[in-house]
A = this chain, B = another copy of it.
Amino acid sequence: MAAARFDVLGIGNAIVDVIARTEDDFLIGHNMRKGSMQLIDEAQAARIYDAMGPAVEVSGGSAANTTVGVAGLGARAAFIGKVKDDELGRVFAHDIRAAGVSFATPPASAGPSTARCYVLVTPDGERTMNTYLGAAQDLHPKDIDADIVAVAQIIYLEGYLWDPPHAKEAFLKAAKIAHDAERDVALTLSDAFCVDRYRAEFLDLIRTGTVDLVFANERELHSLYLTADFDGAVSALRNDARAAVVTRSGRGCVVITREETDAVPAYPVERVVDATGAGDLFAAGFLVGVARGADYRTAARLGALAAAEVIQHLGARPEASLKDLARENGFDV
C-alpha cells in the first residue's frame, strides 16, 4: 500500500447554506420536521426563501464540512462534489479551497444551479434543513477520480448521496477503488428520514463490509433498526458493522466495535447557538484521530471538541482555529 497523500477524502453534495433564525411557528406553518432535512424542488425553494427572514450564506454540505474540519485540524483533506459554474458555485469552491481542502471536481456548465440548503435555526439552537439539490444532482461516477481516491487513507461518504440519481454509483465506485487500494471507507447515515428512504441499502452496505466505519446519531440509529430501544439498536449495529460511532448530542457518543461499546462524554458548551454541522465536525475530529493512529476514545474526544466549536456560532464551518483549540486541549495534532 502506497503512502497516503490525503488523510481524509470526503464525497458528498456540494451545497451553500442559506441560514436564517426563525421561531418554531414558522416550521409548523411550513410543515417542516424540526431537526431533520427534507428535499425540496425549485418551486418549494422559492416559496420558502420568500417566506423566511434575512439570511446569511455560508458554504455547507455535510461531507464538505467534515473535510474543512479535517483541514482545520491540520490534516490533509480532499473533497469531491458537484457545483454549477455560477456565483454560489464559485462561493462554495472558494470557501473549501481557502480552508485548505483540495477540491478539483469540474463544475457543471449547464443544468440546475448550485445546491442550496435553507437552514432555519430556532431559538433552542436546533436546525431544520430544506435542500434544493440543484447541480449536486449531476455528480456522476466519472467525477470520481481514481488517482485521488486511491491515495486517501480514509474516504468518507454521506448517506445523502443516495438522493441524487447517479451519486450512488459514484459512491460505490469510490468505495471499490478505496478497498482495492487497501483504504478504509466510512459512511455517515446523514439523517433519520434519509435512513428511512434507503434503509435496506444502508444495511446492505454495512453488512457486506462496503463500509468499514459507520457514523450515526441516535435518531438515525433508531430509524435504521426501526426501534426506539437504544441498547437494542446498539447491539444490532455492533453485530452488523465493523466499527461505528453513535452521537447523542449533549450526552456524548458511544463507540461500537466487535470487542466493546465505549461511552465518551461531550465537551460542555454554554449555549448551543446553531447545531448545524455538529455531526459533520464530530466526524472530522474522529477521522483525524483515527488517521493519526489515536485510539477510538481519543478520536471521539477530538470529534466532540470540534463539534463543540461549531455549535457555538451560526454556520457549519469552524470559525476558530481547530488546530489551536485541539492543542490547547492536549491533543497531539
Contacts of A59 in B (CB 8 A): 54
- Does A42 count as interface, using CB distance less than 8 angstroms? no
- The reply on A86 being an interface residue by CB < 8 A is yes
Digit string of A47-72 for contact with B (CB within 8 Å is 1, else 0)? 00110111111110000000010000
Known contacts A54-B317, A57-B57, A49 near B87 by CB under 8 Å: no
Top 3 A-B pairs ranked by shortest CB distance?
A: A57-B57, A87-B87, A54-B95
Q: Which residue of B lies closest to A89 (CB)?
A: B87
Rounded to whole angstroms, the CA-CA distance of A319 and B53 in the bound complex is: 11
- Residues in chain B near residue A52, CB distance under 8 A: 98
Q: In the complex, A50 Cα to B55 Cα: how many Å?
A: 24
- The reply to whether A53 and B98 contact each other, CB–CB distance below 8 Å, is yes
Are A21 and B319 neighbours in the complex by a CB distance under 8 Å? Answer: yes
Does A113 count as interface, using CB distance less than 8 angstroms? Answer: yes
In Å, the complex CA distance between A315 and B113 comes to 26
B residues less than 8 Å from A91 (CB atoms)? 55, 57
CA distance A238 to B88 in the complex (A): 48
Instruction: Tell me how far the C-beta of A89 lies from the nearest C-beta in chain B, rounded to whole angstroms.
Output: 10
Q: Does A99 contact B (CB under 8 A)?
A: yes
Interface centre among A53, A96, A98 (most CB of B within 10 A): A98
**A residues lining the B interface (CB < 8 Å):** 20-21, 49-50, 52-59, 68, 86-88, 91, 94-96, 98-99, 113, 315, 317, 319
Instruction: Check B58 against A56 for contact (C-beta < 8 Å).
Output: yes
Chain B residues near A87 (CB-CB < 8 A): 86-88, 113
Mostly, the A contact residues are mixed
| Assembled-state Cα–Cα distance A50/B315 (Å) | 21
Number of copies: 2
Which residues from chain B contact A96 at a C-beta distance below 8 Å?
54
A50–B319 Cα distance when bound, in Å, is: 19
How close is A321's CB to chain B, nearest CB, in angstroms? 10
Distance of A226 from chain B, by nearest CB (Å): 39
Does the CB pair B57–A94 fall under 8 Å? Answer: no
B94 touches A49 (CB 8 A): yes
Would B315 and A56 count as touching, CB distance under 8 A?
yes
Name the distance in Å between A291's Cβ and chain B's nearest Cβ: 22
Bound CA–CA A55/B87 (angstroms): 14
Residue ID in chain B nearest A96 by CB atoms? B54
Nearest CB in chain B to that of A90: its residue = B49
Asked if B315 and A95 sit within 8 Å, CB to CB, the answer is no
List B contacts of A95 (CB < 8 A).
Answer: 54-55
Closest to A55 in B: B95
- How distant is A208 from chain B, measured CB to nearest CB, in Å? 37
Contacts of A21 in B (CB 8 A): 319
Given contacts A55-B94, A57-B58, A87-B87, 9 further A-B contacts (CB under 8 A): A21-B319, A52-B98, A54-B68, A54-B94, A54-B95, A54-B317, A56-B57, A86-B87, A87-B88
Please state if A99 and B315 are interface contacts (CB–CB under 8 Å).
no
